[in-house]
Structure 1
């Protein structure tokens, strides 16, 4: 364990070197106080704990409190839990209403190729390609409006379900929330900081495993069964859309060959996900090594992997299934090992050809009825 100064820890934080912070004897103290470093929060904490701030500028509060010998980890934890309890009480009172509103979303469709850059796509696909005033107005009222609606609704859904799921973690006694927003940390589990990632089993990894297991390409298999059963195959959809479209058509077909195909594909996917659940190291590495370059980091992450085993395309609905989530998250945290070495994760980032080390955990939530 190291024993670094405040300025050294602050430099590590700004350089996203969380492993070095965690190895320091006062690392968790630094990160907890960092989440409380807003002026009004610090002043409230100091008022409660009789800490004199006279003559200090607000930017000096954080270091002053960090170095204050009378401030204990217990003081910090108690303050954070008290602040969270106040905020949580308000959200809990509104939770039934919010979940009801979220259940009104029937289709999770991003509305085209907008991705995470809405402005860029509008400029590239509409502004720079269309010269006609009449046509640009038609596009605004038609496909562009539909796409923007899908993008906005999905973003709205992800935002509010993320808040609900974070609260379900923070309600557990082994979890300490952060007070304010702090980069790459949503909460601490047994004093280890984690960034929560709510996600699904990666489609690309699933496709690779299907191929490696000898099943082959899912879309190719779907086309084969559709030809055998004389099910029409359209040519105006991209591969991802076509795969989902054909799978839905085969699922709805009541012939024995269609039922056997769907059952075999489902069993293949369940087997792959089940193996990942038993041995999660490969999946955790995959998540780190396949993250977007623009958002790359090696922070500690808690992966919550949601799977609807009846229909993987409907796994997004599990994000609003509060009772299912709460029961499983609580059970996992109750049983979480105190052996932090079991969380050690190592991965290779090919873009800079470096090996990174961090801590990570994964919880598979599989739903079937």
Structure 2
């Protein structure tokens, strides 16, 4: 363990060097205080502990409190929990309304991918490609409006469900929340900082595992079944849209060939996900190595992987099933033991040709009926 001073820890934080902070004797103290470093919050904390700030500019509050020997880690934890409870009461009063509103979303459809930049997509695919005034107006009223609506609704849904799920973790006695927003940290478990990532089993990895098992390409197999059963195959959809469309058509078909195909496919996917749950290292590394370039980081992550085994395409609905999620998350946190050997994660980032080390945990929540 190192003994860095405040300026050195602050430099590490600004340079995203979280391993150096975690490996310092006062690193976790620094991160906890960093989460409550807003002026008003610091002043409230100091008032509670009779700390005189009258001679200090507000920009020095953080470093001043950090160095005070009479301010214990217990003092900091107690204050953080108190502030969280105050904020939480406001959200609890609104929780039923929010869940009801989120339940009104019937289809999780991005309407075409905008990637990380709405402006870039519009400029590249509409502004620079279309010369006709009439056509660009038609596109605005048609495909662009559809895509914008899908992108906005899905982003809205992901934002608010993530807040609800974060609270499920922060409500637990084994979890210390953050007070304010602090980059790459949502909460601490046993004094280990984590950034919560709510996700699903990756389609790309699932497709790879299906091929490894000799199943082949899912879309190709669906087309074969459709041809055998004389089910119409349209030609105006993308591969992803067509796969989902044909899957739904085959799922609804009651003939033995269709029913057996769907049963076999579901069972293969269940086996793949169960194997990942039993040995999650590969999946954790995959999630780090395949994150979006624009939002890349090597922070500690707690991956929450949601799967509806009755219909994997409906896994997104689990994000608003708060009663079910609370039960499963609490069961995990009630008995959690953070073994560093299990948490240590090493991954390679191809864009910079660097190897990174961090800590990560993972919890699979599966709906089976």
Q: If the TM-score is normalised by the length of the shorter chain, which range does it land in?
A: over 0.9
Which secondary structure state, in structure 1, belongs to the residue aligned with residue 69 of structure 2?
A: coil
Name the residue aligned to 2:52: 52
CA distance, structure 2, for counterparts of residue 72 and residue 101 of structure 1: 42
CA distance, structure 1, for counterparts of residue 198 and residue 84 of structure 2: 21
Contact 2:116 2:294 in 1 (8 A): no
Which secondary structure state, in structure 2, belongs to the residue aligned with residue 220 of structure 1?
A: helix
Q: Which runs of 5+ in 2 are unaligned?
A: none
Name the residue aligned to 1:126: 126
Name the residue aligned to 1:324: 324
Q: C-alpha displacement at 1:307, in angstroms?
A: 0.5
Which secondary structure state, in structure 1, belongs to the residue aligned with residue 56 of structure 2?
A: coil
Name the residue aligned to 1:64: 64
CA distance, structure 1, for counterparts of residue 76 and residue 248 of structure 2: 53
Which secondary structure state, in structure 1, belongs to the residue aligned with residue 306 of structure 2?
A: strand
Deviations 1:135-166 (A, max 9, x none): 22222222222211111111110110000000
| Structure 1 residue ranges, 4+ long, deviating more than 3 angstroms after superposition | none
Q: C-alpha displacement at 1:338, in angstroms?
A: 4.1
Name the residue aligned to 1:274: 274
Deviations 1:64-93 (A, max 9, x none): 010011111111111110110011111011
Alignment of 1:69-108 (within 5 A): 69-108=69-108
User: Which stretch shifts more, 132-141 or 46-55?
Assistant: 132-141
| Superposed CA RMSD | 1.0
CA distance, structure 1, for counterparts of residue 140 and residue 214 of structure 2: 46
- Count residues in correspondence: 369
TM-score by length of 2: 0.98
Name the residue aligned to 1:350: 350
Q: Which runs of 5+ in 1 are unaligned?
A: none
CA distance, structure 1, for counterparts of residue 204 and residue 40 of structure 2: 46
TM-score by length of 1: 0.98
CA distance, structure 2, for counterparts of residue 249 and residue 67 of structure 1: 65
Name the residue aligned to 1:207: 207
Contact 2:301 2:359 in 1 (8 A): yes
Name the residue aligned to 2:239: 239
Which secondary structure state, in structure 2, belongs to the residue aligned with residue 56 of structure 1?
A: coil
Deviations 1:257-309 (A, max 9, x none): 00000000001100100000000011111111111222211110000000011
Name the residue aligned to 1:251: 251
Q: Is 1:310–2:310 an aligned residue pair?
A: yes
